Amino acid sequence: MSPMAITHLATGLSVLAGAVLVKSVLDQKPMAGGPFPRCPTCNGTGRVTCFCSRWSDGDIGCRRCSGSGRAACSNCGGTGTGTPLPVQITVRPPSRPF
pTM of the model: 0.46
Spatial CB neighbours of 61, under 8 Å, sequence gap ≥ 6: 52, 67, 68, 69
The pLDDT tens digits of the residues spanning 59-85 come to: 777 888 888 889 999 888 888 887 666
- CA dist., res. 98 & res. 93, Å (int): 15
Please check whether residue 69 is in contact with residue 49, taking contact to mean a CB–CB distance below 8 angstroms.
yes
pLDDT surpasses 70 at 27:
no
pLDDT digits (tens, 9 = 90+) for 31-55: 544 567 888 889 889 999 888 876 6
Beta-strand runs (E) in 43-93: 47-49, 70-72
